[in-house]
A = this chain, B = another copy of it.
Amino acid sequence: MAKKTNIIEDHSTEEKIKQAARKIFTQKGYAAARTRDIAEEAGINLALLNYYFRSKEKLFDMVMGEQMQQFIRGMRGVFHNEDKTLIQKVTEMADNYIELLKANPDLPIFVLSEIRANPEKFAAKMNVKSVIANSHFMKQIAEETKGKLHPIHFLMNIMGLVVFPFIASPLLKTIGNLKHSEFNNLMEERKKMIPIWIKAMLKAK
């Protein structure tokens, strides 16, 4: 049995397959994705795909795991920092995530779809909870709202303002007659506006 040899400088085939898999999986979702399409997208053949990753599911788990990590990575720093103000953190989150999502617009709907389709599988990997719940960030929110509202409302609000436009972008582009570049310009504007909006919402009553 042959095995891959490049362990360090693996910028060739293995990574190429993972990139292709990421693209096809995020575009179509797990069930609709075809390993043949992934192989073609990667510029290799089906046999080699199964030679590197033993199965579709293994390949998916690999890609999915990395995507989730990417999703969480940006958070951890922000959520547990104890020096910055709430609004500073909101600004940082908006900046980071909008930048990430401009590059990977299908990421959220992919992640959220697969979680919905397979909740048990992700219940395990859900260190998300430990990252966010009881974070300094959540305490700051609780402080601002002082009992009036559940802090999770503002987590919903922030994420909703940042993420939702990307999830609904096909619809929004149609409604607003927006070219892709125009849509991205709007997202650029939102980097500035979201902290302002959140601030206003926190004060409102």
Contact = CB atoms under 8 A, between A and B. Distances in A.
A103 interface: no
Interface stretch (A39-47, A54-62, A84-92, A127-135): A127-135
A113 B113 contact: yes
Interface residues of A, number: 56
A200 B157 CA distance: 13
A188 to B, nearest CB: 12
Interface string A1-33: 000000000000000000000000001111110
A132 to B, nearest CB: 5
A160 B156 CA distance: 9
Contacts of A80: none
**Chain A interface, >50% SS class:** helix
Contacts of A190: 153, 156
B201 A175 contact: no
Interface string A103-124: 0001001001101110100110
A112 B171 contact: yes
A186 B152 contact: yes
A48 interface: no
A100 interface: no
Contacts of A32: 29-32, 117
